[in-house]
Amino acid sequence: MPFPEFLTSNKKRTGLILSIIVIFSGAIPLIIFTFFADPAHPYTITEITLETEDFTKIKAHIYTPKNMTGFHGGIVIGHGFTGNSRHMQMLAIELVKREFVVVSINFRGHGNSEGYLPSFADPNMINKLVLDMKAGIDYLEKLGNVNKIGLIGHSMGAMTALKTSDLYTEEINATVIIGMVGNSERGLRDFFGQNDSQSSSSYNLSRISNLLIANGRLEQMFTPEITLNFLKEYTNRSDVMLETLYGDFTAGNASKAVIGSGEHLFEPMDAHIIYESVAWFELAFYGGIRWDISLSAIYNQLFFAIALMGMIAFCFILILYLHNYLWKDRIINPQKDVVKNASLVKLILYYILGAGIGATLLIPLGILFSEVLPVSMGQLLYAILVGTALGTLIMYYLLIRRTEGLGLHDIPQKIKSICSGTYGRSILYGILAALLLASGITLLANWSTVITLPTIREFGAIIGFAILFFPWLLIKEFFFRNIQSKLHFQNRFKEYFSMVGIGFLIDTILLWPLMLLTWGEGELLGFVALALTVVIIFSFIQQILVTWVYMYSGRNILGSTTFLCLFYAWMMINFYPFGLPLF
């Protein structure tokens, strides 16, 4: 069979081949710009284990120039809350290209490091993180050929860098803070009435050498105005401006505030912030920029996005093949009109009302579940799931039951009806679909963008979280598929995209106004906007994936719920650190 005919004779096969082409079109350049970004200044990337003064083992990625003759500058990088060392890799690559030795650490509880992140309400919290950053400094000092050391941190890592620079002022020559100004950790404790003016987490700005402050123009917490005010505090001047250098590097009082184009989550990948950070260490360590700064980070982002789209398409097509294999001898029940007498608009409105009830339960449920999940913010995320499930059940019993003329015992039968027929196959399908997507994303992201390969303790936590999530996500899936049953499209793709849009709308409609109202309104309200940004992004990803799985899992919510539980738990473990409740 001629190749063009072979390519076009089967749509799934055509899609599979095209998705593989897209994957390699992104992955090959991504490999080049990750490991061979500058042939004139080659480097290696290795992972090591460091031990802190309190005997916590943390993981770190070491970026080492191959041209290691003479003395070099060394830089320790600290990521933000919910981040990890790979999240800072674009910045690390730009620095190692300049022949800096870079230690990018995973703070305790984050990435594949051991230990637990203390609560932000703990007065000693910041000092624990300083121990992690100090382990990176100790590594550089033991090399023997690093004569100057700098620190760079994002968000929580920036807070830690400031405190570390204060404690070890004789060892640190320059500091860059991204996505943070002032003492955020102390500000959070002040808000909760836990201020201790004598806390060892306080620092003295006058002891911090050569400080660069960088925030995004769309930053949720620290606006350009707040950034400028912090520069005034550091310089003790009222006439300072953004993007302007003040002070002297030799005297150790150089300072500058720069503004990137993005928001908090993507500031470490912002081209302007990366450029200014690289230039800052060049000026601080060498008195000038030794050769032109040519960034390749933008290509990392572009080719990762291409490879990721190809990988998701590849996994979606494999899910179709999996569907054909598991249901080749079974009739699929399309499950139309599960709820016969309630319109699509009413069902959507009822879900939104249920989500509103769940929002009112967030704080009491968050307090109740404070020790349920061993990850920071875990109790709030679990409270959101439980509250939304309870809220939608209340709507079902109060409103839909009357419309449908159902008895109380009939509602569990409705749930059973949408689970019936293929229990084992659907659950197996959900497990295999979750493993397929998680494996595909891990294969691409774990070495390039974010640590996604679970450790042994994380794997156990994923299983435990999935079991905890199952009853609540089953209720949510039941309500969502009630809504989907009202979409009378003959074309599956129209049904799919319509349901993704509806699902995303009703899942986030109450979040958008609150996010926009708190955006840029200072540290504490801005943190709310940041948290909601994360939830909205995850909701969109969730709707894209779980709707596809449902439609090809025999239209059995056991399959989509199983998938959602595993994927939800995996994503939570990837981003939220092992630790105590946030506050």
How sure is the predictor about 409, in pLDDT bands with cuts at 50, 70 and 90?
confident
pLDDT higher than threshold 60 for residue 2: no
First-to-final CA distance of the chain: 65
- The gap from C-alpha 217 to its chain's centroid, in whole angstroms, comes to 20
pLDDT higher than threshold 70 for residue 165: yes
| Alpha-carbon span 141 to 135, nearest angstrom | 10
For residue 302, what are the CA distances in angstroms to 276, 395, 439, 533? 21, 44, 21, 22
pLDDT at 523: 83
Q: What is the DSSP string of 385-416?
A: HHHHHHHHHHHIIIIIHHHHT--TTHHHHHHH
pLDDT higher than threshold 60 for residue 168: yes
pLDDT at 7: 52
pLDDT at 333: 56
pLDDT higher than threshold 70 for residue 186: no
pLDDT per residue as tens digits for the range 474-504: 999 999 998 998 888 888 899 999 999 999 9
| Alpha-carbon span 153 to 110, nearest angstrom | 15
C-alpha gyration radius of the chain = 26
pLDDT at 148: 95
Question: Strand 43-51 and strand 172-178: pairing?
Answer: unpaired
| Alpha-carbon span 73 to 549, nearest angstrom | 50
Q: Coil, strand or helix: which one is 251?
A: coil
What rounded mean pLDDT belongs to the chain?
A: 90
| Alpha-carbon span 566 to 31, nearest angstrom | 29
Instruction: Name the residue with higher pLDDT: 202 or 110.
Output: 110
Instruction: Name the residue with higher pLDDT: 264 or 340.
Output: 264
Mean pLDDT for the stretch of residues 518-546: 92
Q: Coil, strand or helix: which one is 177?
A: strand
pLDDT higher than threshold 90 for residue 522: no
Mean pLDDT for the stretch of residues 284-303: 95
Q: What is the DSSP string of 433-490?
A: HHHHHHHHHHHHHTTTTS--S--HHHHHHHHHHHHHHHHHHHHHHHHHHHHHTT---S
Torsion of CA 346, 352, 355, 360, to 10 degrees: -110
Instruction: Name the residue with higher pLDDT: 166 or 337.
Output: 166
pLDDT at 398: 84
| Alpha-carbon span 257 to 177, nearest angstrom | 10
State the alpha helices, DSSP H only, in 192-246. 224-235
pLDDT at 69: 77
pLDDT at 188: 47
- Look-up of token digits 């996505």: 179
| DSSP 8-state assignment for residue 197 | T
| Alpha-carbon span 576 to 82, nearest angstrom | 5
The lowest-confidence range among 51-65, 137-151, 400-414 is: 400-414
CB 468, CB 564: distance < 8 Å:
no
The percent of residues above 70 in pLDDT, for the chain, comes to 92
pLDDT per residue as tens digits for the range 215-273: 999 999 999 999 999 999 999 999 999 999 999 999 999 999 999 999 999 999 999 99
pLDDT at 582: 65
Instruction: Name the residue with higher pLDDT: 332 or 70.
Output: 70
Mean pLDDT for the stretch of residues 89-108: 97
pLDDT at 248: 95
Strand ranges of the sheet holding 57-65, from the earlier edge strand across to the other edge: 43-51, 57-65, 101-105, 72-78, 146-154, 172-178, 211-216, 255-260
The lowest-confidence range among 83-87, 208-212, 370-374, 510-514 is: 370-374
Beta bridge partners of 150: 75, 174
Mean pLDDT for the stretch of residues 95-106: 97
pLDDT higher than threshold 50 for residue 561: yes
Single-letter amino acid, residue 490: Q
Q: What is the DSSP string of 55-98?
A: --EEEEEEEEES---S-EEEEEEE--TT--GGGGHHHHHHHHTT
Mean pLDDT for the stretch of residues 91-107: 97
pLDDT at 89: 97
pLDDT at 200: 45
371 CB burial (10 A radius; 0-12, 13-18, 19+): exposed
pLDDT per residue as tens digits for the range 322-335: 988 887 766 555 55
Mean pLDDT for the stretch of residues 331-356: 80
pLDDT at 191: 42
Closest among 104, 154, 152 to 263, alpha carbons compared: 154
pLDDT higher than threshold 90 for residue 124: no
Q: Hey, what are 454's tokens?
A: 């679970």
Q: Hey, what are 517's tokens?
A: 């109202």
Torsion of CA 438, 443, 446, 452, to 10 degrees: 10
How sure is the predictor about 21, in pLDDT bands with cuts at 50, 70 and 90?
very high
The percent of residues above 90 in pLDDT, for the chain, comes to 73
- Look-up of token digits 């092992």: 578
| Alpha-carbon span 437 to 456, nearest angstrom | 19
pLDDT at 4: 56
Q: Hey, what are 68's tokens?
A: 């290691």
Mean pLDDT for the stretch of residues 511-523: 92
How sure is the predictor about 405, in pLDDT bands with cuts at 50, 70 and 90?
confident
